[in-house]
Structure 1
Amino acid sequence: KAAFDDSPDPRLSQEGTVQAMDELNVFLEYYPNSQYRPEVEKMMDILMDKLAYKALLNCRLYYDLGNYMGNNYESCIITANNALNDFPISKYRVDFAFMILKARFTYAQESIEAKQVERFRRVMDEYYSFTTDFPESDYQKEAKRMFEYARKVVEGK
């Protein structure tokens, strides 16, 4: 419990959070039938959620950095994809998926003209994945706007 309480804010290094999760896992291994198991599992969920939120903050940071000192849009996409794999049931899944779409879109917009059609096709593919996985998302309106823009570029209009 002490390690759980010492877990830092998501904006800080999450070394303490990972350590707390390790300690809670050890507890569950040694005492699988403990009366505290439900409480420990709840703490694990909270810590996992904290790590997922930290990953989302990292995605947003990469996106905000844009093309500063390299292609941070690609870093945003990679971080979001890793987070989707690492946290498959996170409440931030839709946010990660949207960050991928948004980063692909902005990257395509800022690309040289010769590469735009190819990159906007990837935006369209990402849009289809996003709308299939999250049809009721609050981001649908913005995603649709990106798709329509990408479609116009790809069709040459």
Structure 2
Amino acid sequence: MQQRLIVRVLLSAWIVVLLGSCSPFSKLQKHGTDDEKYKGAVQYYKKGDWYRAGILFEELIPVLKGSTESEMAQFYYAYTQYHQQQYLLSATLFKKFYETFARSDYAQEAMYMYALSLYKDTPGFNLDQSNTLTATSALQDFINAYPSSQYRDDCTKMILELRRKLERKAYEKAVLYYKTSGFNIASYKSSVIAINNFQKEFPDSEYNEELAYLKFDAQYSLAKNSLETKQKERYQEAIGYYQAFVDKYPNSKFVKQAEKMYETSQKEIERMDKLEKEKQQPKPDPNRPSKVTAANE
């Protein structure tokens, strides 16, 4: 029974191979002339058969080098990979095209498709954003090169979308440092630094109100858990962050929580100032004779 099943499977596989070898595409690929293959590749391309068109164009490009068909073969081949969602490969091919055929009527479109391919390959905000930075740069380079292009508005929209992705990534990073800061002093410091960087990079972000509060909270906690010798300076920095926060967001939902930490910070600074003054006061000399007062008359 098992042997019969194996025979049937092998027979089915042989039939598939046989039918495939007799297909028009297979015949064209094996026996067609370069001219026939090129025309066939264009026909497959126009039908949207990106896979077969791509195979033929890939085989033709080396042999068409220097011919009039070479330019379009490379251009079409790049598109076949784009439509098959091979975005990194299509980006490479489109870039090679506009660098090789800089004077081509399709050079502008190829540069746009290079940037679009990179945009399509960008990951979600929770992953590494190196590709997002590369795509953003490519889109901006296109706008700079072709400021009046029909693709300009699309590029602008994509840049804004990618910046929002970078913004979300930076926000999540800053919040993660804050959430883990309870474990060690270094995380408090990292949280403050990450939020400072975020505020500089994204000054108009919707996350800045929350992050301004978290920065104050992290700095307050840093001061509270620091050595006595560093507490005063760090509480003073925390108060500075508090004042910046309430000045910009006086009606924030975080104000009441921030006020409690602010009051504690002030009290701690006052306590430390008092201790410093006490230390600076001269101590009485135990060897000095006590003051003699005159006897009452």
TM range (shorter): 0.7 to 0.9
1:49 partnered with 2:164: yes
Aligned with 1:3 (options 104, 118, 126): 118
Aligned with 1:14 (options 109, 125, 129): 129
Q: Please give the alpha-carbon distance, in whole angstroms, between the structure 2 residues aligned to 1:124 and 1:132.
A: 12
Contact 2:185 2:225 in 1 (8 A): no
1:136 partnered with 2:241: no
Q: Please give the alpha-carbon distance, in whole angstroms, between the structure 1 residues aligned to 2:193 and 2:143.
A: 32
1:85 partnered with 2:183: no
Gaps (5+ residues) in structure 1?
Answer: none
Question: Which SS does the other structure have where 1:94 is aligned?
Answer: helix
Q: What does residue 32 of structure 2 align with?
A: none
Change (3 A) 1:108 1:17: same
Change (3 A) 1:69 1:148: closer
Q: Please give the alpha-carbon distance, in whole angstroms, between the structure 2 residues aligned to 1:67 and 1:146.
A: 16
Contact 2:136 2:159 in 1 (8 A): yes
Q: How does 1:24-103 map to 2 (within 5 A)?
A: 24-66=139-181, 68=183, 71-103=186-218
- RCO (CA 8 Å, sep 6+): is it higher in 1 or 2? 1
Superposed structure 1 runs of 4+ greater than 4 Å apart:
67-70
Question: Which SS does the other structure have where 2:253 is aligned?
Answer: coil
Question: Which SS does the other structure have where 1:10 is aligned?
Answer: coil
2:121 partner letter? D
Question: Which SS does the other structure have where 1:129 is aligned?
Answer: helix
Give CA deviations for 1:52-106 in whole Å, capped at 9, x if unaligned. 2211211122223326566121111112112211222222222332232121011
Question: Which SS does the other structure have where 2:143 is aligned?
Answer: helix
Contact 1:52 1:92 in 2 (8 A): no
1:126 partnered with 2:241: yes
1:2 CA drift (Å):
3.2
1:12 CA drift (Å):
0.9
Change (3 A) 1:35 1:77: same
1:46 partner letter? E
Q: What does residue 260 of structure 2 align with?
A: 145
Change (3 A) 1:8 1:91: same
1:37 partner letter? R
Contact 2:195 2:211 in 1 (8 A): yes
Gaps (5+ residues) in structure 2?
Answer: 1-115, 273-297
Q: Please give the alpha-carbon distance, in whole angstroms, between the structure 2 residues aligned to 1:61 and 1:11.
A: 12
Aligned length: 157
Change (3 A) 1:142 1:39: farther
Query: Which 10-residue stretch deviates more, 66-75 or 95-104?
Result: 66-75
Q: Please give the alpha-carbon distance, in whole angstroms, between the structure 1 residues aligned to 2:259 and 2:157.
A: 37
Contact 2:220 2:235 in 1 (8 A): yes
